[in-house]
Amino acid sequence: MGIKITRNTKETVRLNYEGTIENIKGKLEIWKIRKMSLMGKIMILKTMALSTIIYLLTNLPSPENTYIKELENIIYNFIWPSNNERIARKTLIGPIDLGGIKMPDISTLNETLKIGWIIRMYKNEGNWSNCLLSYIPSPNNIELRDYFLRSNLNAKHLSLFLKTKCSILWKEPLYLWFDYNYKQMVQIIDTQEILKQSLFFNSNILIQQKPVYYLKWYKAGLRTIGDLLTDENEYKNIFVLEKEYRINIDFLTYMGIYSAIPKQWKEILKRYKPNKDSIKYKHHLDELISKDKCTKIIYCCRILRIVKTPIQRLLKWEEELETGIDTDEWLDSFKIIYKCTQAIKIRNFDYRFRIRDILTNSKLYKMGLSDTEECYMCGERETILHLYWDCKYNKRLWERLKNIISNAKLATPGKIECLLSLYDTENNTNNIKHFLCTLTKKYIHDSKCNKRKTSVYGLLNYFKTIKDLEEKTSSREGIKKYRKIKRLWHNIKIV
């Protein structure tokens, strides 16, 4: 996998990205022919498409937005061939416990890979890292370099401190790092973190609307807000500072720094009276350096900025069920299925059911894709609630399921528990109840798709088939997973 390099940066980006995007488009066109689930398509994207683009995103400057948008359009046309995106993009890209399924976001992935160069600079030494460091204040001073990169500098102020005209290849990682690292004043309320706030390169401590850097103060050791405080947590006067740090301090300079410290921080320090000796604040840069998969941590943090939780789908459930549902409990329940099975189709159905991405006859009728909105079994109006709960043919299934769960000496689930599996996620005994409820809904769904009437006998056979498949699959993956499946089904008698 090589990169075409020319003397012109824009031409280099164009040559590499255009060919790669066309290559990805061709691969996805082949896979589009196959009938796959939503999660199956995302798995193909991660293995077949993203692996080719990640190399370019890591090693080349970011492409123009037109390339990013073109790539995203290709990806989402693969996910939704009909161009009808039934689930919002900002929902799909979210983590599981926020109602998403970890759909890759190209823009965030690109930013994360660029930030990764800053972390890589700490872990590796070489000419390339020296090149990056040559643009920041005092690159040969490792201590000042670390201070600068840990400072709370807003990316918009970065150009004030870059030494020379910075190459786009290196300016971008620095810009994105400070965009990731920066915290607004109102976000910093922890006493220890306030004490560790840098006096310089700090966009929350502004003089004439700009962050400052006093080299004389820095060399003397006067660097953080904590350095300005006495043991009694009062601000030191100029004479004390001059004696302690052995420097001459101008009165106006001191008052400028003192006045620039946010009032909110001063109030917090005054109210809590922290003990400087007990400061244990650790900058997240140190945590990232110590982690092997630091880019994954950065990606998860950045994706949270744009994720949109599917609250409207929850409100629709509350309307249909005529009851209030705790938002956190509902979102937390999305991850239960991952403890029960590795089967992509079952996980996919569970997600789409929770998110209400189920095409019932009433919905198809409104879309003009069905001649009737009646249930294919009983003739009543087919909604999600009717099909999966109220239909007289399917009520028998739920009664048998409750008997199976009761015989296993487990608490019998009610209507909301059966449909949405709002169990305690920390209690592993609830996993099998959730799994059986999901399998019951999946059986009803498959029967509808095949225009086949449901039956108790068919449901029990479906349970047995899934159980045998789970045991057979887990036995190939090791004794631990096999024992986990056996424990899951231990008390369940399918009769």
DSSP 122-135: HH--SHHHHHHHTT
Return the minimum-mean-pLDDT range out of 195-209, 229-243, 272-286, 319-333. 272-286
Give the per-residue pLDDT at 426. Answer: 64
How many angstroms separate the first and last alpha carbons of the chain? 56
Rounded Cα distance, 39 and 219, in Å: 55
Between CA 207 and CA 492 the distance in angstroms is 70
Provide, rounded to the nearest whole percent, the portion of the chain with pLDDT above 70: 94
Per-residue confidence band for 221, with pLDDT thresholds at 50, 70 and 90:
very high
The pLDDT value given to residue 137:
74
Tell me the CA distances in angstroms from 107 to 58, 241, 294, 479, one per residue in order: 12, 47, 18, 40
SS3 374: strand
Q: Give bridge partners of residue 381 from the DSSP assignment.
A: 374
| pLDDT at residue number 123 | 73
Nearest to 211 by CA among 199, 221, 220, 219: 199
Counting every residue written for the chain, the total comes to 495
Give me 272's structure tokens.
């809590």
Q: What does the block give as tokens for 381?
A: 């109006």
Mean pLDDT across 40-45? 93
Q: Of 432, 396, 428, whose CA–CA distance to 413 is shortest? A: 432
**pLDDT reading at 61 higher than 70:** yes
Is residue 126 left, alpha or beta, with left meaning phi > 0 and alpha meaning psi from -120 to 50? left
Grouping H, G, I as helix, E, B as strand and the rest as coil, residue 224 is strand
User: For the segment 399-425, what is each residue's pLDDT rounded down to a tens digit?
Assistant: 999 999 999 888 898 999 999 988 666
Output 3 or 90, whichever has higher pLDDT.
90
Q: How far apart are CA 339 and CA 333, in angstroms?
A: 11
CB atoms within 10 A of CB 301: 15
SS3 231: coil
Strand partners, 224: 198
Kindly report the average pLDDT of the chain as a whole number. 89
* pLDDT at residue 204, as a whole number: 96
Residue 274, pLDDT score: 53
Lowest mean pLDDT among 31-45, 165-179, 447-461: 165-179
Q: Where are the alpha helices (DSSP H) in 221-343?
A: 238-245, 251-260, 263-272, 284-290, 294-303, 311-321, 327-332, 337-340
Would you say the C-alpha torsion 241, 243, 246, 249 has a positive or negative sign? positive
Q: What is the DSSP letter of 372?
A: -
Asked if residue 386 has pLDDT above 70, the reply is yes
Span 366-370, mean pLDDT?
Answer: 88
How many angstroms separate the CA atoms of 2 and 194, rounded?
A: 47
pLDDT at residue 49 above 90? no
The pLDDT tens digits of the residues spanning 243-295 come to: 999 999 999 999 999 999 999 999 888 887 655 555 566 788 888 888 878 88
12 burial type by CB count under 10 A (0-12 exposed, 13-18 middle, 19+ buried)? middle
Angstrom distance (rounded) from CA 232 to CA 2: 61
Torsion of CA 468, 472, 473, 479, to 10 degrees: 120
- Alpha helices by DSSP H, listed for 83-155, are 89-92, 106-123, 127-133, 142-150
Interval 118-142: pLDDT, tens:
888 877 766 666 666 777 776 567 7
pLDDT at 436: 94
The torsion of the CA quartet 482, 488, 490, 491, rounded to 10 degrees, works out to -170
Model confidence, pTM: 0.87
Residues 72-96 pLDDT 10s? 999 999 999 888 899 999 999 999 9
Q: Average of pLDDT values for 7-16?
A: 87
Confidence at residue 384, expressed as pLDDT on a 0 to 100 scale:
95
Q: Cα–Cα distance between 444 and 450 in angstroms, integer?
A: 10
Query: Token pair 């798995």 is at which residue?
Result: 43
Average pLDDT over residues 218-231: 90
Q: What is the spatial distance between Cα 36 and Cα 448, in angstroms, rounded to a whole number?
A: 18
pLDDT number for residue 477: 86
Instruction: At 321, list the tokens.
Output: 């069920």
**Sequence-ordered list of residues with C-beta below 8 angstroms from that of 24, at least 6 positions apart, any chain:** 49, 52, 53, 71, 74
What average pLDDT does the segment 213-240 reach?
89
pLDDT at 42 over 90: yes
Tell me, what's the pLDDT at 93? 95
